[in-house]
Amino acid sequence: MTTDEFDLIILGGGPVGENVADRAVQAGLTAIIVESELVGGECSYWACMPSKALLRPAQALRAAQRVGGAAEAVTGALDVQAVLARRDSFASNWSDAGQVEWLDSAGIDLARGHGRLTGEREVTVTDADGATRVLKARHAVAISTGSDAVIPGIEGLAESSPWTSREATSAQEVPGSLAIIGGGVVAVEMATAYAGFGSTVTLIARGALLGSMESFAGERVAAGLRALGVDVRSGTGTTSVRRDASGVTLTLDDGSEVTADEVLVATGRSARSDDIGLEVVGLTPGRWIETDDTLRVPGADWLYAVGDVNGRALLTHQGKYQARAAGDVIAARAKGEAVDTADWGRHVSTADRAAVPQVTFSAPEVASVGLTADAAREAGRSIRVVDYDLGRVDGARLYEDGFEAQARIIVDTERGVIVGATFVGNEVAELLQAATIAVVGEVPIARLWHAVPAYPTMSEVWLRLLETYGRESA
């Protein structure tokens, strides 16, 4: 057993842990990452990158088929094996050699193995052969272990070898039929992908699709999935699952049954914190780790929790945003420098509460940021909901024949600023950053009139939304 000392120890080598380490090292600290799987984490190998690589080819094909002139030139079907091969390249064929090389170039050390807190500022790493190594942190330990897919307690489900997002994004063969339990982002994205591959897909959701978003988003996505041939059963629960030699059979709460070759569970995530020694600091293993806005764990001035594991916003870009704040604040505190904890300051993660952007890469896409109308009302805001048919915008109609889409902004009428925005339609993802800047920057409506959108582009919807708001306010 060897003992090593570093300024900062990070549990978890995904994009969040990498960014915490990189910011700290750039500020002059030493750092080591402890990782038991692949450096690069869930996003690189089983989530963001492979899932979008699976979705994009069919999206591009459908886009061409919806434009006169291009549609006549598209004569072939999707080459599924080529899609899977391209996906493999985006997942680096599940090799982290490139990421390890980047760690070396960035001056970040790596310890392979499972890390557990074993004392104050102490982590013990156990490698695959059972050998242990004790790491000591001069200043801080950051937990960036991420989250795991939840397997709900449905009778027979766990015994039926269900897919989670990992299996769905790394599959080497496409099943003839796929049943999906869940109605969130992973569920609708994988339904979109596998329907595009030719699978017979059944999506079973206890509630509405994309229930945390504006209701019209889920409704339009459900319609889009049905247009792709997906059997969407919302408002329906699953009571039991059984697998035999012919596949899986799901019994639903209305008494009907669904049979499929595979079943994918996409019902949420849980904190990956069950075996990392949280009891050392008086916390309960397996739960989300609460932090303040500097990502520090209350009661332990040396411990930080960054990314999914703190449950604040389970999105890679939000985790990296937190990581930049955490790495900077750890370095500042290590040097005895002042820490900026003002709202939207450099050392805090406050966007997680009010301005989280997210794209659901379904057909149609959903791009949203900030508060929904219901959330704004629940927060006591005086609001006006402004809707506009995005399909009426000239720049949008150029994208495809018969373009259908919807835009909504939520205006805080007392302050005259936008607090939320949602766009639903094909190719709307690139509208999101403008909305995010408007929400985060709290740009007054009066000022937005002077942000003139280029014509003819889809961004002209901003002018139409402002015009609609002006007419409604008159």
454-463 burial string, b = 16+ CB within 10 Å, else e? eeebbbbbbb
Do residues 239 and 186 share a domain? yes
Examine the domain organization and report whether 378 and 434 are in the same domain: yes
Are 256 and 174 found together in one domain? yes
The mean pLDDT value for 136-147 works out to: 98
All residues at 6 or more sequence positions from 219 whose CB lies less than 8 Å from its CB, including other chains: 208, 209
Q: How does pLDDT run across 321-358, given as a tens digit for each residue?
A: 999 999 999 999 999 999 998 888 889 999 988 899 99
The reply to whether 284 and 336 lie within a common domain is yes
CATH number of the domain residue 404 falls in: 3.30.390.30
pLDDT digits (tens, 9 = 90+) for 425-459: 999 999 999 999 999 999 999 999 999 999 999 99
Task: Check: CB of residue 133 under 8 Å from CB of residue 127.
Answer: yes
Q: With contact defined as beta carbons under 8 Å apart, do 19 and 320 qualify? A: yes
pLDDT, one tens digit per residue, over 72-108 is 999 899 999 999 999 999 999 999 999 999 999 999 9
Under the banding of pLDDT at 50, 70 and 90, the label for residue 474 is very low
Q: Considering 327, 351, 375, which residue would you say is the last residue of a domain? A: 351
Q: How many helices (H) and strands (E) does the chain have?
A: 16, 21
Q: Which of 227, 252, 267 is the last residue of a domain?
A: 267
190-244 residue pLDDT tens: 999 999 999 999 999 999 999 999 999 999 999 999 999 999 999 999 999 999 9
Looking at the fold, whether 230 and 257 belong to one and the same domain comes out as: yes
For residue 428, is it within any domain?
yes
Domain of residue 217, CATH code? 3.50.50.60
Over residues 15-43, the pLDDT tens digits come to 999 999 999 999 999 999 999 999 999 99
Q: Could you tell me the residue range of the domain that residue 213 belongs to?
A: 158-267
pLDDT value for 472: 59
Residues 385 and 404 in one domain: yes
**405 is a domain residue:** yes
274/178 same-domain check: no
For the entire predicted model, the pTM comes to: 0.95
Q: Mean of the per-residue pLDDT values for the chain?
A: 96
Number of independent structural domains in the chain: 3
Q: How many CB atoms lie within 10 A of CB 406?
A: 21
In a domain, 72, yes or no: no
Question: In this model, does residue 165 exceed pLDDT 50?
Answer: yes
